[in-house]
Structure 1
Amino acid sequence: MNPGIIPVIPVRVAELVPEGQTMPVYIHLIDHPDARVLVDTGFTSLHPAIEDMEPRLFPLAEQDFDIQGVDIVVNTHLHFDHCGGNHLFTGRPIYVQRKELEDARSQANYTIPDWVDPPGVHYVPVDGELELLPGLRLVPAPGHTPGSQIVVIEESQGLTVIAGDTAVWHAQLDNPGTEGQKLVRSLNPEKVWLSHAEEPWTPRAGAGG
């Protein structure tokens, strides 16, 4: 049974300016009836490895955001701008695909290792699809990284997807190329939230996204 409407709240936590083009960084809070689920955590500090992207931070601690009220964290993948705030959620389970966690820990120049494994962080490795809560499931979506995953929310009016970087721009869902992008489109979602876009992609707005 679909659980009705489950609010998704985008929170802008940073901006990156690669090659002079401003790219917002959003995380997404799912206000599920059974738990508050945070999808990705952005990043909370600067690092020499990302100086060329001219990062600007909007710390969660300075926003109207209840860090302690988050029950579960999901990482779509473990690039620095998606896991750099994981340290804020020690004691909470952080769900990530096992393949993604292994790659982030073993491959050079994949991410910022200290941000993946800060003290007290507890990962729950996921193998494939997982129903996390009623009407909320994790689904592998390879493409941006081999271990990327999306969050699929089943609501009374249709599906909402939180896709991380499965697509960076709306145009990549208009004309899907990767396995993950094709998967998202095959689900026929009503809206798709992306980490670097202010508004969600929708089938109606997609052609102009």
Structure 2
Amino acid sequence: MAFHEVRFPDDISRGARGGPERRTRIVELASGDEERNSPWADSRRRYDAAYGIRRADDLAVVVAFFEARYGRLYGFRWKDWSDYKSCLPSASPSATDQIIGEGDGNTTQFQLVKVYASGAQSYSRRIVKPVDGTVLIALDGIAQGSGWSVDPATGVVSFAAAPGNGVIVTAGFEFDVPVRFDTDRLDVTLDIERMGSIASIPLVEIRR
């Protein structure tokens, strides 16, 4: 996948709009009942970065970023300010935030995940773009300062020695969303006072 490990400017993404979407197919039966199913196992996030543009200089930054990504060709990192931590927005990540696996004495690699739970239901989201330097790891609740590494391009945690059988592996982290522009054209407006805007800058999450 064509991807640039660079993040969209934070000061512009802070004012953006967007979030997760699902795809649900609903069939209404002759009885008035309905059947619902989804072809998507995972959600997909969409954003519009245009709401974060406040100055003419922001326009130049976005246009340069768009040109360097060749429009929709190359993906990039995006900070979703509403959801970028393994914990609640008001808290700081800790090594016990998320369970990412259980040791069996042989497995040395574990994928970072974030679980969204409500009532008895939950959804486990793969985290593939952790922010370098923010990942914390614990084994059975004990923080591990060494003996492991994480690939910031995939979110895979690798241990030098496999965690023992039944050992709970947990992690805390900040993360970005892999996205791409969902357009090959930017409609830029610059008025007489040099105040500018772009009608829409759609972004869509890249799922692997």
- Which structure has more RCO (C-alpha within 8 Å, separation ≥ 6)? 2
Name whichever structure is richer in strand by fraction: 2
CA radius of gyration, larger in:
2
Whether these two folds match at TM > 0.5 is no
